[in-house]
Amino acid sequence: MKRFPSLALTLMALIACSTASALEVGDIAPDFSLAGSDGQHYQLSSFRGKQAVVVAWFPRAFTSGCTVECKSLADNGDKIRQFDVSYFMASTDPLEKNIAFAAETNADFPLLSDPDKSTAAAYDVLMPVIGLAKRHTFYISIDGTIAYIDRDINAASSAEDMVARLAALGVAAAPGG
């Protein structure tokens, strides 16, 4: 009997902490500096005032759903690039694994690696027990605020869904496009 009150208080504290940190539309997107599969380093703040950004978090390279999603984006990159946007997939996988995954899926966009999981935690996509990211996509406006969070991703149609969302958000056309 004496254990129950402390267990209940612990559970209530965990629930309060987990819901308090959730990002919402209109919040400033947490800055990051992550290595990409293309050998470049990307810092979100460097896009502020210049271009919209999409970050599609995925759980793990070389798994079925992640492969389908990455191929969807790679096969339809021409449609996404009609918008003035930089887009990435991101995971907690080590860089070497994402480089190999990008090569296997013919990704023509960078896959970002967050092996210390700090950026995934900041975006509230980290699954703490297993250390993988949830499959969520963040649409970040040119001013650095979160314009939309897609928490219900269909891996097979992810590129088409991204194009539709960019259009619905009114993201500008790519220069010269």
Active site amino acids: 66
Phi and psi dihedrals of 108, rounded to 5?
-105, 25
Q: Which amino acid is at 71?
A: K
C-beta atoms surrounding 135 within 10 Å: 21
Distances (CA, A) of 68 to 62, 156, 158: 10, 6, 9
- Whether the Cβ atoms of residue 79 and residue 159 lie closer than 8 Å to each other: yes
